[in-house]
Amino acid sequence: MNPPTISLSDVVFGYHQEGRAARVRSASKPLFQRLSLEIPAGTITTILGPNGSGKTTLLHLILGILVPEDGVVLLARRPRETYSRREMGQLVGLVSQDEYIPFNFTVLEYVVLGRAPHLQLLQTPGVEDISVAEAILGQISLAHLQDRSIQSLSGGERQLVMIARALAQHPRILLLDEPTSHLDLGNREHVLAILRQQAEQGVTVVFTTHEPNQAADVAAFVVLMREGRVLGAGTPEAVLTTAWLTQTYGVTVDVLEVAGRRIIVPSKPMSAALLAR
């Protein structure tokens, strides 16, 4: 089975002035005005841009949480709205920034929830579903947490468990919204390693971030966004440049090569004392 592509064509979407709505109202100013984008299959794509640029909204449109006023969203060359809810659950997994978990599940119980799209209506998870959840916890080095209450976890542990729950769906598309934004260095590298592993297995991975160095580290394809517009899209070598990133973030940045690695840092003007020398 070929990895699925993601395509958005002439998408229009905005939020109603009184709050978020699932469909654009005529009184609102669209956030996206004829947005078109092709996301390649079976690799890691990073949606990069400052806060408020529309990164999370884009993920929600792909998943179907939000519905555009106009335009087409295709998943695996098929209109997204033609998928049933169960089919979407088998195709796409989402890891949000901060998921509200109202019940005091154990880690294993929570990860088993990811098996829901593979169950019939009112069917309870079986031995196979539990085995899948246990295997995923083992693969991402979380087996020692499976009997812990999810409410007792640290922020980093909780984020990894949320990823495990999405992986239990066995999705062909994995969407992640700022998956490393609150993690320490060790957990951040752990998450990026998981994403690399998924892409190697043919999963189409898309994650949002405002950190260009993460895109440089793991992405094969980068989308630059600002104020609801796609400024550029392509390989890291093509779009992670001083000109493109300065336009994206509104501040001058430097793109450096250090030990064969691309490093992006804000430009710092020389101090008056240095200029006087």
223-255 residue pLDDT tens: 999 999 999 999 999 999 999 999 999 889 888
Residue 27 has pLDDT above 60, yes or no: no
Greater confidence (262 vs 202) lies with 202
- Burial-class residue 82 by CB neighbours within 10 Å (0-12, 13-18, 19+): exposed
For the chain, give every domain's residue range.
Answer: 6-276
Q: Say how far apart CA 15 and CA 212 lie, in whole Å.
A: 27
8-state DSSP, 252: -
Residues 6+ apart with CB under 8 A from 202: 3, 42, 172
DSSP track, 13-34: E--BTTB--SS--TTSPPSEEE
Residue 273 has pLDDT above 60, yes or no: no
**Helix or strand holding residue 170 (H, E):** none
- Nearest-Å Rg of the Cα atoms of the chain is 20
Band of the pLDDT at 15, cuts 50, 70, 90?
Answer: confident
Q: Say how far apart CA 11 and CA 31 lie, in whole Å.
A: 10
**Helix or strand holding residue 56 (H, E):** helix 55-63
pLDDT (tens digit per residue) in 109-163: 999 999 999 998 878 899 999 999 999 999 999 999 999 999 999 888 999 999 9
What's the confidence (pLDDT) of residue 19?
45
Question: Of 241, 194, 199, which Cα lies nearest the Cα of 216?
Answer: 241
Quickly name the fold that domain 6-276 has: Rossmann fold (3.40.50)
**Helix or strand holding residue 185 (H, E):** helix 185-200
Give me the phi and psi of 233, to 5 degrees please: -150, 135
